[in-house]
Amino acid sequence: MSQTDIEIIQLIQDKQRSFKITLGASMGMILIVYFFTFAMLVDKFPPAFFIFEAITSVIFLVSFFMLNKISFAYVKLRMAGKANYQDYFEIMQASDVDESAETILERKTESA
């Protein structure tokens, strides 16, 4: 269990947390805007705008329950192409964002 292993896992976790917060806050702000524009869309615009808003609202609400998986997939997509991160993504899961790096490394040594 070297210090660089712990630092790399913590870097991956930090990027996942950061993206999860950014994505969740953005979706929340969009839903707030949707809430205040709902009546205007129904009264003044064609039905296609309302349908778009309704569909994206449902997608956002479902996505809130899957933020860990979405953020982990994004970070994995961005970082797994680099050779020094591939081994860590093999042992990590989306739910590991809240675990300590030492626990994740212990799981790696147990599986090896």
Q: Where are the domains of the chain?
A: 3-111
Q: How confident is the model at residue 17 (pLDDT cuts 50, 70, 90)?
A: very high
Residue 40, pLDDT above cutoff 60: yes
Q: What is the rounded (10 degree) CA torsion for 12, 18, 23, 29?
A: 170
pTM above 0.85, yes or no: no
Residue 2, pLDDT above cutoff 60: no
For 84, residues 6+ apart whose C-beta sits below 8 A from its C-beta are 8
Residue 3, pLDDT above cutoff 70: no
For 60-88, the pLDDT digits (tens) are: 999 999 999 999 999 999 987 887 888 88
Range from 46-55, 62-71, 95-104 carrying the lowest mean pLDDT: 95-104
pLDDT at 106: 78
Measure CA 32 to chain center: 20
For the residues 83-101, what does the mean pLDDT come to?
80
Kindly report the average pLDDT of the chain as a whole number: 86
For 67, residues 6+ apart whose C-beta sits below 8 A from its C-beta are 20, 23, 24
Extract the tokens encoding 29.
């702000």
